[in-house]
Structure 1
C-alpha cells in the first residue's frame, strides 16, 4: 500500500520523467549493461553499444511500461500482468535483473532530477520500483 504522500511523490517524479522516457530509459539500460554485463545475454538481438538507437528505443518502451504502472499505482499487478507473463514465459529473463534495472533507473533519475529527487521522493520511487520488480517476477513462482 502507498500513502497519499508516496502516491503524490511518484506522480510528481513521473510527470518530470514523461518527456524524457526514451532518453532516460536508454541511459538506464546502458548503465545496466555496463555495470552488470551479464545482462547482455537478453539483448543478443540488438546493438548494445552506448548510444545505440535500439537500446534507446527499448529503454523508452521499458519506461513507458513503468509509466503505466505509475499512473495506476493501486492496480499495478493488473497493469503489468502481460509483461510479467512475457518476461517469465517467453523471454525467460532472470527476475534478479528487474531489481538491477530498478537500481539503474534510480541512479538516472537522481542524476537528472537532483533537486526534485529528495530523499523522500527517492524512498517512494524505490518502493514503487521494488513493487514493479516483484510484480514482474510474480509469474516465475
Structure 2
C-alpha cells in the first residue's frame, strides 16, 4: 500500500483538476496506439487503427480514451484504496481481454507525457515525480488480479 503525504494528495488533485477528460482522453489512447503500435491487437473491435490518420479520426479510440480517464478519476478519488478500486477492472482485463500487464505502464507513460504537454509550466520535476508515483500505484493496482 502506498503512503501519501497531504502535499502529494494536493499535487495529484491539482494536476487532475486541470485535465479536461473530453479533450485529453482521446489524445492519450491515440498516443498509445501510435507510439506502441503492437497495442492495437487489444482493440480489434475498433475498426481501422492501422495508420496515424485512422487512429486520429477513430471515434472508438476517442471514446475509450475518455473511458480510461474516467476510470483514473476513480483512482484520484480513492487514493488510499486503489487496489480495491481497480480490482474488478484488473480482473476484467486479465480474464476477458488477456491484456499484457506491461501495457498499463505504457499507458501511464502516455498519460504523463500528454499531461505534461498540456500543463507545460506547472509540470515541474517535483509535480511529475508525485504524479508518476500516483500512476505507478494505479498500474500496480491494475496488475493486482494477474496470476
Q: TM-score range by the shorter chain?
A: over 0.9
> Any idea what the Cα deviations from partners look like across 1:35-64, whole Å, max 9, x if unmatched?
111100001110432132111110000001
Q: Cα RMSD over matched residues?
A: 1.0
Tell me the equivalent position of 2:11: 9
Tell me the equivalent position of 1:115: 121
Alignment partners' CA distance in 1, 2:23 and 2:42:
20
What's the TM-score once normalised by structure 2's chain length?
0.90
User: Larger Cα Rg: Structure 1 or Structure 2?
Assistant: 2
SS, match of residue 87 in structure 1 = helix
Contact 1:22/1:61 (8 A) holds in 2: no
Structure 1 unmatched runs, 5+: none
Structure 2 unmatched runs, 5+: 50-54
Alignment partners' CA distance in 2, 1:92 and 1:23:
28
The list of structure 1 runs, each at least 4 consecutive aligned residues, that deviate by more than 4 angstroms after superposition, is none
